[in-house]
Amino acid sequence: MSASREIALFLDMMAAERGAAVNTLEAYRRDLDDVAARLKAGGSELGTAKTADLEGVLAGFAADGLAPSTAARRLSAIKRFYRFLLSDGRRGDDPASALKAPKRGRSLPKVLSEADVDALFDAAARIEGANGVRTRTLMEILYAGGLRVSELVSLPLNAFVRAERCIHVTGKGGRERLVPLTPNALEAVTAYRAVRETHLPQDPVRAKRAGRFLFPSRTAKAGHMTRERFAQILGDLAVAAGLDPAKVSPHVLRHAFATHLLARGADLRSVQMLLGHADVSTTQIYTHVLDERLKTLVETAHPLARKPDSG
């Protein structure tokens, strides 16, 4: 069986049994395609590769200067793939079981200060017309609920529950959660509903598909605003706010949401539930962000940290 067919079967399993998202499946496909190409260049095949062959692939990652995080992600894909072949009876062994991930330092998420977020909202408030109303609503929901960008742009129109004080979000792996919204976010949604139809396609068939979403698109095949379009909107906001657009992204705003909540006294479990993290250990990274900030504050502002005068 060809490598592409084996990869396709693996992806089918991940979608059906694990509920993997489209973007996750595409990432697995890219990683496994790369591994298959490297194995073929070395004279072996993906389906029949030995442990030594896979060790050669890992060595190739290092030789090519692949970032440790990227190499670790590809190794994860390799391990999942061969576990699938073993459990599916397509192999009698798991050649990836002994492979070790490359060591990597802890990478703290980038965050924006509360002043930076205020600047983004001020820039959004200056946009006129229906586009401005939509932009402010997108920002309010994203920052009020800490949603992933894919969750935000694909919100169904019927996501609002409990008299519209919360939204029902379906996240990674099909996990569902309720996310409460702030009064400002609810007001923004109310204002946006009055202009939402201006963003619907004129074609009746496309309009019917797009009409299911809170943020419909006149051009996107999926019917709702794309991740790329929102990233572009956010980049333009960053420029208007006087911020470096390279340091502002939807995920950075999600990080800001979590960090700002913790800084104001929210408990870790609550933030975990709001973010939709399956494991609290994922959420704990934000406590390290706060630790770094406190450390910097002490080093720069504490009287005993000041350098003595040189005279």
Instruction: Please return the burial class of 287, using the count of CB atoms within 10 Å of its CB with bins 0-12, 13-18 and 19+.
Output: middle
115 Cβ neighbours under 8 A, 6+ residues apart: none
SS3 assignment, position 160 = strand
> Is there a contact between 102 and 62 (Cβ–Cβ < 8 Å)?
yes
Half-sphere exposure of 111 (CA within 13 A, CB side): 26
Of the candidates 30, 251, 288, 295, the residue annotated as catalytic is 251
Of the candidates 38, 148, 206, 224, the residue annotated as catalytic is 148
Q: Which single residue is written with the structure tokens 């194995």?
A: 39
Q: What angle do CA 99, 100, 101 make, to 5 degrees?
A: 125
- 277 catalytic? Reply is yes
Of the candidates 172, 177, 218, 227, the residue annotated as catalytic is 172
Tokens of 151: 């969750």
What span, in angstroms and rounded, lies between the C-alpha atoms of 140 and 185?
5
Number of H helices, E strands in the chain: 14, 3
What span, in angstroms and rounded, lies between the C-alpha atoms of 46 and 117?
47
> Is there a contact between 257 and 242 (Cβ–Cβ < 8 Å)?
no
Q: What angle do CA 246, 226, 175 make, to 5 degrees?
A: 100
Of the candidates 196, 199, 254, 260, the residue annotated as catalytic is 254
How many other C-beta atoms are found inside a 10 Å radius of the C-beta of residue 198? Answer: 13
- 172 catalytic? Reply is yes
- 148 catalytic? Reply is yes
> Is there a contact between 225 and 207 (Cβ–Cβ < 8 Å)?
no
- 251 catalytic? Reply is yes
Tokens of 55: 């060790």
- 286 catalytic? Reply is yes
- 224 catalytic? Reply is no
Indicate which residues carry an active-site annotation. Answer: 148, 172, 251, 254, 277, 286
